[in-house]
Structure 1
Amino acid sequence: MKNAGGAENFRSLQGFYIYRNKRLIIWGTWFGMRLGELTKNARIRVDIPNSLDDIWGIDITKRTATIPKNILNQLRKTVKDAMDIATRKQTHRGRKENVDANISYIWNRMQGRNNNFYYELNKDNLLFKNVKDYIPADYHSYIDLMLDEIQLSIPIQQIYIDRCNEVIEIPERDDRLDDLYQQGITLVEAAMKFGKSKEEAIEYVMTSEPFCTKSELKGMLNTYCTEKYGK
């Protein structure tokens, strides 16, 4: 981003880059074409010889030019192809690269381009779905907005520095199992109301984080359901 002129210039410097005898004379313009945000990765190089100065309307300062109408028409397809490539790059979605495909993680590890990775919240996780079940549908967009902001605001650089300095402390919670047990009961009972059997409901909960992190929880939920609902 720094090499591209910074975030502010990244979008403004999209467009045609006109070279005259291999010397850049005009850059960062679409010559009046109206294009959108998703084209900010598009740069189109045009090389012209000095013998075409009159046709291109290049003035004595060699700082301005006007694309001839007939050439502009020929370039439209090139521009469209470049826009398609730029748009695909902006809208590219990575693929999940989680450790276990059978577990519904709270965070998804996504493989992007060039073998780079990023992380995004899994809004299909059981916990997120359960929260939305108790909130009117009109407010679901606010939940998504909040999660998106959390996702975009992870202090990755500071986490990395603290990790390298070995100063990250993970809070110990002795009651974690009890908390998950109570939440698990709520989710299992909710799943059973939607037609799942006791076994299916427990299995459904245990394939989702954070419940799958406590193997003993499955036995506890099974005992609870057996005592309450029978075999």
Structure 2
Amino acid sequence: MATGKTALVIAAGHGIGAASARALAAQGWRVGLMSTSDACETLAAELGGFARRGSVTETADLQALIDLALATTGRIDAVVNNTGHGAGSSAATQASTYNPDGDHHLLDIGDTDWHHGLDLYVLNVVRMARLVTPIMQRRGGGAIVNISSLGTVEPRPEYPLSVLRLALHGFTKLYTDRYGRDGIRMNNVLPGFVENWPVVDAVQRGTPIGRTVKLTEIADTVAFLLSDGAGAITGQNILVDGGLVRAAR
């Protein structure tokens, strides 16, 4: 159990972020949550944590959450960097149901959307790392988990901006090389199609486990990677996709 430890979870109002916050709280973590809506505040009240509304694209918002954590608990031991889809994602990515036979538009994505994706998928982690690393260094260590995507290892036109997360994976390697000896670990979790994102039957049949991934399965992986039991795991990309990537090759 992580009794007494504090974890920050970003984009924690719904989905993977909210599930991760629940899993961590159940294991004794004190959770600090952020999202762009008041959903993070509602969940924090339920879990006995604290929250602040804000965006991953705004350094001032991240700093405000960190300041709140230090004022509330006096420590930050872990961070879960989570975020949503970029505005330039394809219609299939933004739709309520994933259909690989849809009409995709790779070359229609403008520069603004590519830059926005970089802001959401890569620089969100860089910004947070700049702010929390000195705090973790002073405490003698910490752990960071970034929510990435299977789209980095199995690029597909249905979710084109996911390829930007390859830069995140490279940053993670560089970060762990530099700060591993300070006791700070960083890993990426790569979800497949998760239950809160309905997919057509053909996609489910093509997944070896025959179903979408449960939110709790992603959250439990996140919680493990932040735990002392994962103390030797760092700089890794962990697929939690029901075997989909293997099946696609």
Shorter-chain TM-score: what band?
under 0.3
TM-score, scaled to structure 2: 0.21
Query: Which protein is bigger by CA-based radius of gyration?
Result: 1
TM-score, scaled to structure 1: 0.22
Which one scores higher on RCO, CA 8 angstroms, separation ≥ 6?
2
